[in-house]
């Protein structure tokens, strides 16, 4: 009981944790998110394609990134090449701006002294959006002010505009993008960032998103904030070393992440979304009847 007291007294919300059975007296018992997931068929889960998965090894552990070639084919291809050739090995996380992003890449300011891109391209087109035709899209019932339609495309938060017939990825927590200069086509995938705060949706369609952190975002989100402009670390001693960034397909199978992701086109996912739009567990007194794209959980579990 003591542990119930604590978990209830201090709990704000229940995420991936079952509601304590003893607490479900007043209202009819509704399934928790964990119970919904536990009841899901195996077919509602997918594994990562090792040829579009990156492992970024930091001192504190491994960050797993799923690339999004459907939306950023040229960036994804370049990043694969860079990873295969060890471009980031020994480079650093050089920026951590509170409530915004962590960013990694070459800290060298002088282009002539920067690390070679090897056989990767040094020039890519902007991949801010694409034709919506042919893009899988499960629309969220709720809209927001940033886009006419929002939803999920093969696990990624995304948006669409029926008028222009375009689709794009959305800047939710954990999304990974390619830093660029003022010119729209100035990113080459060498400088990457992950969103570690309130979703900066104003960046949507202004920069190329290349994927999402599916495991280990907390290794980036806890990094000390840089004290320079934009959260850059002012002292190179503060840089966080990147041991390596590898394409999962180049890593021995035994060393690969054994995780599964809930398919966003599955019935279980639709049930999860509805359960989060209207929280019915007894802690909630007023279900919102709404959810923002970037508040929707994207469940990941150890492979079964």
- Residues of this chain, 90-109, that bind a second copy according to CB under 8 A: 94-95, 97-101, 103, 105, 109
The pairing of strands 300-302 and 259-262 is antiparallel
Task: Tell me the C-alpha distance between 48 and 304, whole Å.
Answer: 14
Among 28, 41, 134, 229, binds a second copy (CB under 8 A): 229
242 touches 103 (CB < 8 A): no
Of residues 273, 277, 278, 253, the one with CA closest to residue 263:
273
Q: Are 124 and 185 in contact (CB under 8 A)?
A: yes
- CB of residue 267 to a second copy, shortest distance in Å: 22
d(CA 301, CA 261) in angstroms, rounded, equals: 7
Q: How far is the CB of 135 from a second copy (least distance, A)?
A: 19
Relative to beta strand 259-262, strand 240-241 is unpaired
Residue 230 touches a second copy, criterion: CB under 8 A: yes
**Element containing residue 105 per DSSP (H, E):** strand 101-105
Q: Judged by CB under 8 A, does residue 160 bind a second copy?
A: no
Q: Which of 29, 81, 143, 249 binds a second copy (CB under 8 A)?
A: 143
Report if residue 38 touches a second copy, rule: CB under 8 A: no
Residue 187 or 264 having the CB closest to a second copy:
187
CB of 248 to a second copy, least distance (A): 23
Pick from 115, 121, 232, 265 the residue near a second copy by CB under 8 A. Answer: 232
- Asked if 110 is part of the footprint of a second copy (rule: CB under 8 A), the reply reads yes
Q: Least distance from C-beta 31 to a second copy, angstroms?
A: 17
Please report how close the Cβ of residue 298 comes to a second copy at its closest, in angstroms: 11
* 139 in contact with a second copy (CB under 8 A): no
Q: Which of residues 248-267 bind a second copy (CB under 8 A)?
A: none
* 201 in Cβ contact with 248 (< 8 Å): no
Burial class (CB within 10 angstroms; exposed 0-12, middle 13-18, buried 19+) of 68? buried
> Which range touches a second copy (CB under 8 A), out of 7-15, 47-55, 71-79, 256-264?
7-15
- The smaller minimum CB distance to a second copy, of residues 12 and 133, is found at 12
Residues between 41 and 100 that touch a second copy (CB under 8 A): 94-95, 97-100
DSSP strand pairing (92-97 vs 45-47): unpaired
**Interactions with a second copy, residue window 268-297 (CB under 8 A):** 276, 279, 282-286, 288, 290-292, 294-295
Tokens of 111: 């282009």
Structure tokens, 99: 């409530």
Q: Please give the Cα distance from 116 to 42 (Å, whole number).
A: 44
- Tell me whether residue 31 or residue 136 sits nearer to a second copy (CB atom): 31
Q: Classify residue 74 as left (phi > 0), alpha (psi -120 to 50) or beta.
A: alpha
Q: Which residues within the stretch 175-204 sit at the binding site for a second copy (CB under 8 A)?
A: 177, 179-182, 184, 186, 191, 193, 197-204
């Amino acid at each position: 009981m003591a542990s119930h007291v604590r978990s209830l007294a201090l709990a704000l919300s229940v995420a991936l944790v079952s509601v304590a059975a003893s607490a479900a007296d007043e209202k009819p018992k509704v399934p928790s998110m964990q119970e919904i997931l536990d009841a899901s068929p195996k077919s509602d889960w997918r594994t990562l394609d090792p040829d579009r998965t990156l492992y970024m090894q930091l001192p504190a552990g491994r960050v797993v990134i799923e690339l999004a070639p459907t939306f950023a084919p040229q960036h994804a291809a370049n990043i694969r090449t860079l990873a295969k050739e060890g471009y980031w090995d020994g480079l650093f996380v050089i920026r951590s701006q509170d409530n915004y992003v962590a960013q990694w890449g070459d800290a060298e300011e002088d282009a002539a002294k920067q690390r070679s891109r090897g056989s990767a391209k040094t020039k890519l087109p902007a991949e801010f959006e694409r034709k919506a035709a042919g893009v899988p899209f499960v629309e969220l019932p709720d809209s927001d002010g940033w886009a006419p339609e929002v939803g999920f495309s093969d696990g990624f938060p995304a948006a669409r505009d029926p008028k222009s017939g375009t689709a794009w990825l959305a800047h939710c927590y954990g999304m990974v993008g390619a830093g660029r200069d003022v010119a729209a086509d100035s990113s080459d995938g060498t400088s990457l960032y992950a969103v570690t705060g309130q979703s900066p949706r104003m960046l949507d369609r202004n920069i190329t998103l290349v994927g999402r952190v599916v495991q280990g975002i907390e290794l980036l989100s806890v990094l000390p904030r840089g004290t320079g402009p934009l959260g850059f670390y002012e002292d190179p001693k503060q840089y966080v070393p990147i041991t390596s960034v590898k394409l999962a397909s180049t890593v021995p199978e035994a060393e690969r992440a054994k995780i599964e992701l809930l398919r966003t086109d599955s019935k279980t996912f639709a049930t999860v979304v509805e359960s989060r739009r209207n929280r019915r567990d007894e802690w909630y007194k007023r279900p919102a009847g709404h959810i923002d794209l970037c508040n929707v959980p994207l469940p990941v579990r150890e492979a079964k």
